[in-house]
Amino acid sequence: MSAVQEPGLTEGLSVQSHAGFLRSVLRERKAAVVGLGIIAFFVVLSVVAPLVVPYSPNAQTCAVFAPPSARHWFGCDDGGIDLLSEIMQGGRISLLIGFTATVVSMILGGGIGIVSGYFGGWVDVTFMRIVDYLLVIPDLAFAMVISEVWGPSVFHVIVVIGILEWSGTARVIRAQVMSVKERVYVKRARAVGAGNGRVIFRHILPQVGPLLIANTVLTIAVAIYLETALAFLGLEDPSTTTWGTILEHAFARAAVSAGAWWAIVPDGIAITLLIMGCFLFGQAIEDALNPRLKVAHLSIRRWTLRTLVGGAAGMGVRPLVGRGPDAI
Amino acid sequence: MSLLEVRELHVWFDLQEGRELHAVQGVSFGLDAGERFGLVGESGCGKTTTILGLMGLLPPTASVAGEVLVGGESILAGGESSVRSHRWNDIAMIFQGAMNALNPVKKVLWQIVEPMELHGIADGTQARRMAGDLLEMVGIPASAGERYPHEFSGGMRQRAAIAMALACQPKILLADEPTTALDVMVQAQILELLVGLSNDLGLALVLVTHDLPVVAQVCERAAVMYAGEIVEEGPTEALYHAPRHPYTRLLFAATPDLYGDEAVVSIPGAPPRLDRAIEGCAFRPRCDSSLDRCESEHPEFRAMGAGHRAACHLNDLPGEERAAREGARRAGSAAPAATPGGGAP
Amino acid sequence: MSGLEEIGLEPRASAPAALLEVEDLKTHYPVRRGVTERLMRRPRRLVHAVDGISFSLARGEMVALVGESGCGKTTTAQTILRMVDPTSGAIRLNGTDTTRLSQRRLRPLRRRLQMIYQDPYESLDPRFRVRQTIEEPMLVHGIGGSRKERHDRTLEALERVELSPAELYVDRYPHELSGGQRQRVAIATSLVLDPDLLLADEPVSMLDVSVRAGVLSLLDGLRRDGNMGILMITHDLSTAAHFADRIAVMYLGRIVEHGPAKEVVRDPRHPYTRALLSVVPKRDPRDRSSPQILKGETPNPIDVPSGCRFHPRCPIAEERCTREDPRLRRPPATGDGHEVACLLA
């Protein structure tokens, strides 16, 4: 209920800066903290990987399919390469592919979403038909065909994921832009004489920013998933080490029949964890942006009854004497 | 014994970091069958929270204290479960913006039948017939009940919302800003309807609004709320012609009258925040005639005459001295014509 | 400065006296047709939002455009602003017909023409500090030169709207301001461009009663000292009567009565104006003159009634009213400039 509209009490309700918004998301939602923590962990690990890997990720340092031990925590793969080092190294490339592909799809999706929503008309119709087309194409099948035609390479994987993933973002951003465009302050800016560029960059982009961030984080998860899948299917350059190629190698060299679970499980956990982290964080931002999730009357909790004696004057606001019918 | 008796109603809302907002601070009033009572104040004064509180329709962050008696029976005492049996049966409400809150995919008649069935008043064809009668009563042909809300105009939707509120034959009707979003002509139609209903059915009507002239024209008695409490209560005539609280006087003076020539004034400043303690009189910082003691002493809500009560230290002064303090800005006096721009901000 | 030299437009040969002249302005929108209607090749129908209105406004004058929702008052403002393109007619600002200018050539004219919106909670970008909001128009129009100069202009504008000391407000965000303060910031945003004409769309209807007079007095002062014309769009006849020089009453896209504010209010000649005035609630509870409530609501502007468009709701309509469309004319025994579109006036 919007019964209470005290001046000065709306602080925290309206978003004044993106940093402030992110802070409040992290303060109010544990899932966001966990998600961001996981992402940060992998990012830091990837950055410092060359400095901290215990062994070379390219040279043989132990026996073929050596099980986990005190010296080799995650065991070794079919080539006698330390898996911990390999996963750390592979994470670098996987994250790089994930982030770059996401940036590509965000620029495409954000840009097209804004242009489509803001200008409308035939521009909108054209872009949205393309989006419809992309949304109904099965991602993986399409990616496989493209990789097959262009040949396996990290660059191609990035381009394929970038092209595939922007459509969903464009949809979401377009819808948001269409509603922001109708806000009175945007109309005022236009009445003042502001051009389209100014309206878009100064008034609309900041308003859709948080949604774009949420979408970016969610797209990273999808991109990493897709990269793993493509690599697993052998559509990536086999000489690069990524989380996907590690899995692919393990399967190709019969790790399963050799009982070498350690060649698959730690790598799989790393992929799952990162994707989960992205989902937790992205979803938390999206939830915080959706006011409908905060509606109180949908809650099963109820208001509470207080007794006036003792606890009531707990705030010590005003003396209760001489008020009410007794005072007549 | 009044039909509705509100005693010392308090409502608090939990805020972040253990802070509290004391939205309603000991509000008391009562009304009889067929009486029309106005609850007036500006946004944030607690008028809507008061009636939501006495209906037990508050969010989980709220806590309530005080007594609400309907026909002598305390309805809040058992918390949500005890209010529920009275809600809509004894005491119904037209919510703010109710005309926009009808279910768009259900026919209007169905929406009036629903509360009847929920409360076991009637069902089946009997309920449909009763709902049709209700529609006729609020000025909608019963056949129009077969239509959807979007086929209704704003005024018709508001009439339908009133019919919904009357579905369980309540004795008390709470109307929260029932005409705010409507045009003047439609406002007049709705007010005429509400007055007619209270006369014909003996409904006790609580009209919550920020619009003083509406209350002046519709209600016999009214209470003016400021910062969570009632600062003056009495017959509307007394409130206009002989206000005993500066806020009431200034509020009338801030309302332009169609034929009035006196300057319209504004009240400087803003209402206090209710999440911290207020010392003395809450209105003092905006008052045009405050005394030294207003700063530290909270004024008592005292009787001023027949059914007229106010909470202001000025009332302790002799009549002439009080009038002198109030200055020439008194509303209702035939002040010489002033330029429209004369009102200082 | 007239601004005409600056924007390189030739003033009309005959020097115009009026700041704004609207001549037989019509704005019609096509009704959106559904797929079936398109397939059935039903003709495209038109919303006659504004259907031939003429009025003028001089510098230093405040004209109120009054009417119920759907009467076309807001479309009139949007057409004058050229946010909506007119169907026919002329809008002359300082003698230049703006209806035939392209959006590009219109841009310098926008400086002369500023709008104040109804809802100050919506009309300010929530992410902009007061400073950024006020500086934006200067940046858009490339005025204000250096950063220092823009800063000085910003402070000056804030002082002009009585937000002082201005330093206290420049770095705040909208949510840190009260409704009245927000509306003042919105006005300051218009003032930095030195406009000739302000269009105020219900400038106080979203504000609390106690601060309305302040904002209205501010506008009143601006047009008196600032040599500005103000076109106020409002549904509130009391406010119009108090602050405007002239009132134009609109009904279904037409001006039905037009004249000096006091005269229109005290001596209304059109039956619609009379009814509208009679339903405005009075402040004094003793003054309960019986309102003349019209049945139904304003018909939609797609199917405009034949003859006088008010005749289906008119209490005094005669047979010829259904055939003859009345023009605005001065009825007998009225003051200068008082015009009514009624065959029976």
Q: Please answer yes or no on whether A184 and C173 come within 8 Å at the CB atom.
A: no
Instruction: Name the 3-class secondary structure at A221.
Output: helix
| CA terminus-to-terminus distance, chain A | 34
What is the residue type of A172? V
Looking at the complex, report in whole angstroms how far the Cα of residue C183 sits from the nearest Cα belonging to chain B. Answer: 13
> pLDDT 10s per residue in chain C (345 long)?
444 444 444 444 444 468 999 999 999 988 877 777 777 777 778 888 999 999 999 999 999 999 988 889 989 999 998 888 899 999 999 888 988 888 888 888 888 889 999 888 888 988 889 999 999 999 888 887 788 899 999 999 999 998 888 888 999 988 888 888 999 999 999 999 889 999 999 999 888 888 999 999 999 999 988 789 999 999 999 999 999 999 999 999 999 999 999 999 999 999 999 999 999 998 898 887 788 888 878 888 888 888 999 999 999 988 999 988 999 988 887 778 899 999 987
C-alpha to C-alpha distance for C235 and C244, rounded to whole angstroms? 13
Sorted by where each starts, the structural domains of chain B and their CATH numbers stand as 4-219 (3.40.50.300), 240-342 (no CATH)
Q: Please answer yes or no on whether B275 and A301 come within 8 Å at the CB atom.
A: no
Which residues in chain B have Cβ-Cβ distances shorter than 8 Å to C162?
Answer: 345
Answer whether A194's CB lies under 8 Å from C140's CB: yes
Q: Which pair of tokens denotes residue A119?
A: 């200008």
Residue bearing tokens 């707990």: A314
Closest residue in C to A198 (Cα) is C140
Instruction: Compute CA distances A122 → A125, A128, A133, whole Å.
Output: 5, 10, 17
Q: Please answer yes or no on whether A315 and B26 come within 8 Å at the CB atom.
A: no
Closest residue in C to B265 (Cα) is C213
Optimal mutation site among B22, B58, B208, interface A, most CBs of chain A within 10 A: B58
Answer whether C246's CB lies under 8 Å from C64's CB: yes
Looking at the complex, report in whole angstroms how far the Cα of residue A16 sits from the nearest Cα belonging to chain C. Answer: 5
Q: Which pair of tokens denotes residue C225?
A: 């000292």
A292 touching B, CB under 8 A? no
Q: Which residues are within 8 A (CB) of C15 and not within 5 positions of it... i.e. 6 or more apart? A: C95
Q: Which of residues 57-116 of B touch C (CB under 8 A)?
A: none
Of A184, A195, A207, the CB nearest to C119: A184
CATH superfamily of C4-112+195-340: P-loop containing nucleotide triphosphate hydrolases (3.40.50.300)
Q: E strand or H helix at B33, and its extent?
A: none
Of B60, B229, B270, the CB nearest to A7: B270
Which residues in chain B have Cβ-Cβ distances shorter than 8 Å to A328?
Answer: 302-303, 309
- Three-state SS string across chain C, please? CCCHHHHCCCCCCCCCCCCEEEEEEEEEEECCCCHHHHHCCCCCCEEEEEEEEEEEECCCCEEEEECCCCCCHHHHHHHHCCCCCCCEEEEEECCEECCCCCHHHHHHHHCCEEEECCCCCCCCCCCCCHHHHHHHHHHHHCCCCCHHHHHHHHHHHHHHCCCCCHHHCCCCCHHHCCHHHHHHHHHHHHHCCCCCEEEEECCCCCCCHHHHHHHHHHHHHHHHHCCCEEEEEECCHHHHHHHCCEEEEEECCEEEEEEEHHHHHHCCCCHHHHHHHHCCCCCCCCCCCCCCCCCCCCCCCCCCCCCCCCHHHCCCCCHHHHCCCCCCECCCCCCCCCEECCCCC
C327 touching B, CB under 8 A? no
Q: Please answer yes or no on whether A4 and B49 come within 8 Å at the CB atom.
A: yes
Mean pLDDT by 10 residues, chain B (345 residues): 89 85 93 94 91 89 90 86 87 86 88 88 88 93 91 90 92 92 89 94 94 94 95 95 93 89 86 88 91 90 90 88 66 37 34
A198 touching C, CB under 8 A? yes
Q: Which chains touch C (3 or more CB pairs under 8 A)?
A: A, B
Q: Which pair of tokens denotes residue A80?
A: 């006698």
C297 touching B, CB under 8 A? yes
Go through B307-319 and write b for each residue having 16 or more CB atoms within 10 A of its CB, e for each that does not: ebbbbbbbbeeee
For chain B, the residue count is 345
User: Domain limits of chain C?
Assistant: 4-112+195-340, 119-194
Rg for chain A, CA atoms, rounded? 27
C-alpha to C-alpha distance for B27 and B228, rounded to whole angstroms? 8
- Omega before residue C165 within 30° of 0, cis: yes
What is the residue type of B219? C
Sorted by where each starts, the structural domains of chain A and their CATH numbers stand as 18-297 (1.10.3720.10)
Number of helices and strands (H, E) in chain B?
10, 12
Closest residue in B to C239 (Cα) is B256
Q: Which residues are within 8 A (CB) of C159 and not within 5 positions of it... i.e. 6 or more apart? A: C166
Optimal mutation site among B99, B151, B159, B184, interface C, most CBs of chain C within 10 A: B184
Closest residue in C to B183 (Cα) is C68
Q: Which pair of tokens denotes residue A137?
A: 């194409």
C-alpha to C-alpha distance for C187 and C200, rounded to whole angstroms? 9
Looking at the complex, report in whole angstroms how far the Cα of residue A19 sits from the nearest Cα belonging to chain C. Answer: 12
Which residues in chain A have Cβ-Cβ distances shorter than 8 Å to C193?
Answer: 192
Q: Which residues are within 8 A (CB) of B104 and not within 5 positions of it... i.e. 6 or more apart? A: B148, B149, B150
Answer whether B313's CB lies under 8 Å from B297's CB: yes
Closest residue in C to B140 (Cα) is C296
Which residues in chain B have Cβ-Cβ distances shorter than 8 Å to A323?
Answer: 8, 26, 28, 229, 300-301
pLDDT at A294: 53
Question: Residue C164: which of B42, B254, B342, B345 has the closest Cα?
Answer: B345
Closest residue in C to B286 (Cα) is C210
Q: Please answer yes or no on whether A185 and C110 come within 8 Å at the CB atom.
A: no
Closest residue in C to B189 (Cα) is C293
B334 touching C, CB under 8 A? no
pLDDT at B98: 79
Residue bearing tokens 């949007």: C78
CB atoms within 10 A of CB B92: 24
Chain pair B-C, CB pairs under 8 angstroms: 143
C-alpha to C-alpha distance for B271 and B22, rounded to whole angstroms? 13
Instruction: Compute CA distances C277 → B211, C157, C232, C248, whole Å.
Output: 17, 37, 18, 13
> pLDDT 10s per residue in chain A (328 long)?
333 333 333 333 344 467 777 788 888 788 889 999 999 999 998 888 888 777 777 777 787 777 888 777 788 877 778 888 888 888 888 888 889 988 988 899 999 999 999 998 899 999 999 999 888 888 788 878 887 788 778 888 888 888 888 888 899 999 999 999 988 889 888 888 888 889 999 899 888 888 888 888 888 888 888 888 888 887 777 788 888 888 888 888 777 777 778 888 888 899 999 999 999 998 888 888 775 555 444 456 678 888 765 444 444 344 333 333 333 3
Q: Please answer yes or no on whether C285 and B183 come within 8 Å at the CB atom.
A: no
Answer whether B124's CB lies under 8 Å from B206's CB: no
Question: Residue A163: which of A104, A237, A115, A117 has the closest Cα?
Answer: A104
C-alpha to C-alpha distance for C333 and B192, rounded to whole angstroms? 35
**pLDDT mean across residues, chain A:** 79
Q: Quote ipTM for the complex.
A: 0.85
CB atoms within 10 A of CB C263: 17
Instruction: Compute CA distances B142 → A140, B128, B129, C270, C341, whole Å.
Output: 59, 10, 9, 34, 37
Of C69, C277, C282, the CB nearest to B183: C69
Q: Which pair of tokens denotes residue C162?
A: 């009585």
Q: Which of residues 27-66 of C touch B (CB under 8 A)?
A: none
Q: Please answer yes or no on whether B254 and C212 come within 8 Å at the CB atom.
A: yes
Q: Which of residues 91-130 of C touch A (CB under 8 A)?
A: 107, 110-111, 114-115, 117, 119, 122-127
Optimal mutation site among A9, A11, A24, A317, interface B, most CBs of chain B within 10 A: A317
Q: Which residues are within 8 A (CB) of A82 and not within 5 positions of it... i.e. 6 or more apart? A: A53, A54, A55, A56, A57, A61, A62, A72, A74, A76
Q: Which chains touch A (3 or more CB pairs under 8 A)?
A: B, C
Closest residue in B to A326 (Cα) is B7
Residue bearing tokens 């100050």: C120
Which residues in chain C have Cβ-Cβ distances shorter than 8 Å to B211?
Answer: 209, 281
Chain pair A-B, CB pairs under 8 angstroms: 116
Looking at the complex, report in whole angstroms how far the Cα of residue A192 sits from the nearest Cα belonging to chain C. Answer: 6
Q: Please answer yes or no on whether B210 and C210 come within 8 Å at the CB atom.
A: no
Q: Please answer yes or no on whether B236 and C214 come within 8 Å at the CB atom.
A: no
Q: Please answer yes or no on whether A11 and C107 come within 8 Å at the CB atom.
A: no
Q: Which pair of tokens denotes residue B140?
A: 């909608």
C-alpha to C-alpha distance for C194 and B207, rounded to whole angstroms? 44
C-alpha to C-alpha distance for C299 and C72, rounded to whole angstroms? 12
Of C111, C117, C137, the CB nearest to A184: C117
State the Cα angle at C123 between C121 and C125, rounded to 5°.
Answer: 90
Answer whether B159's CB lies under 8 Å from B140's CB: yes
Of B185, B210, B266, the CB nearest to C279: B185
What are the strands, taking DSSP E only, across chain B? 4-14, 20-31, 36-40, 62-70, 73-74, 91-94, 172-176, 204-209, 221-226, 229-235, 302-305, 308-310
Question: Residue B263: which of B247, B277, B250, B282 has the closest Cα?
Answer: B250
Question: Residue C57: which of C233, C186, C262, C197 has the closest Cα?
Answer: C197
Answer whether B282's CB lies under 8 Å from B227's CB: yes
A182 touching C, CB under 8 A? no
Closest residue in A to C125 (Cα) is A185
Question: Residue C189: which of C213, C217, C161 has the closest Cα?
Answer: C161
C-alpha to C-alpha distance for B205 and A245, rounded to whole angstroms? 75
Residue bearing tokens 């009486």: B35
C-alpha to C-alpha distance for C139 and A281, rounded to whole angstroms? 38
Of A296, A307, A320, the CB nearest to B59: A296
C-alpha to C-alpha distance for A270 and A215, rounded to whole angstroms? 22
pLDDT at A214: 87
Q: Which of residues 237-276 of C touch B (CB under 8 A)?
A: 237-239, 241-243, 265-266, 275-276
